[in-house]
A and B are shown apart, each in its own frame.
Chain A
Amino acid sequence: QSALTQPASVSGSPGQSITISCTGTSSDVGGYNYVSWYQQHPGKAPKVIIYDVSYRPSGVPDRFSGSKSGNTASLTISGLQAEDEADYYCSSYTSSSTVVFGGGTKLTVL
């Protein structure tokens, strides 16, 4: 199972919006509405910020939103804040009943 494809890095200024893409295949992202997004700050454990494509766990600001079209899922962060600077990973359930992660995207807040 190949890793999902994410851009290595994205950047934005405070207050702006950014979008991170996550591309898979019909055997994972495109086949199921089980895409999750995780935020990881340096030295910390990952934290889920989106699950099942577009659902936010309680406590996650509504500045974070998720969507999917075909084999590509997207995470959008609006009203960018300094504390959003982190690594972001997508994951998807697969047809093999496993999970595949993306390679990760480093978000820099300028």
Chain B
Amino acid sequence: EVQLLESGGGLVQPGGSLRLSCAASGFTFSNYAMSWVRQAPGKGLEWVSAMSGSGGSTYYADSVKGRFTISRDNSKNTLYLQMNSLRADDTAVYYCAKAQVVSPRDYWGQGTLVTVSS
């Protein structure tokens, strides 16, 4: 059974940093691209970032480019999102999802809430 489990969310002050993790199981992690998608409270979905299975290619939304870094450790079956210089408008539930190149596909995690507030 495929499972994606995000962790690392919480309350952080504006300008602060946070690292999200997404632990994957039930499939050959290194064979698949992975993505991050976020959803602000009461709002729609926003694609954030994606990474190829090998980790050699990364992609970012303009809204996070230069502040967020996606990475993965295929030996640990884990995807990461390092978030720096956080702003109030980064407040959202962050989902990781198995991807086809950059597009989220068939399996999503349950999400982790990031709140940026003083």
B62-91 Cβ-contact flags toward A at 8 Å (1 or 0): 100000000000000000000000000000
In the complex, the answer to whether B105 meets A97 with C-beta atoms within 8 Å is no
In the complex, the answer to whether A51 meets B103 with C-beta atoms within 8 Å is yes
- Quote the shortest CB–CB distance from B66 to chain A (angstroms): 15
> Hey, which bits of chain B sit against chain A, CB under 8 A?
35, 37, 44-47, 50, 59-62, 95, 100-106, 108-111
> Hey, which bits of chain A sit against chain B, CB under 8 A?
1, 3, 34, 36, 38, 40, 45-48, 51, 57, 89, 91, 93, 97-104
In the complex, the answer to whether B45 meets A98 with C-beta atoms within 8 Å is no
Q: Give A101 to B61 CA distance when docked, in angstroms.
A: 11
In the complex, the answer to whether B100 meets A45 with C-beta atoms within 8 Å is no
In the complex, the answer to whether B103 meets A3 with C-beta atoms within 8 Å is no
- Quote the shortest CB–CB distance from A69 to chain B (angstroms): 20
What residues of A have a CB within 8 angstroms of the CB of B45 in the complex? 38, 40, 46, 89, 91, 101, 104
Of the candidates B62, B102, B111, the one whose C-beta lies within 8 Å of that of A99 is B102
Q: A46-B108, A98-B59, A99-B50 are in contact. Are A51 and B44 (CB under 8 A)?
A: no
What residues of A have a CB within 8 angstroms of the CB of B47 in the complex? 91, 98-101
What residues of A have a CB within 8 angstroms of the CB of B110 in the complex? 45
Q: Which of A34, A40, A46, A102 has the most CB of B within 10 A?
A: A46
Q: Give A36 to B50 CA distance when docked, in angstroms.
A: 16
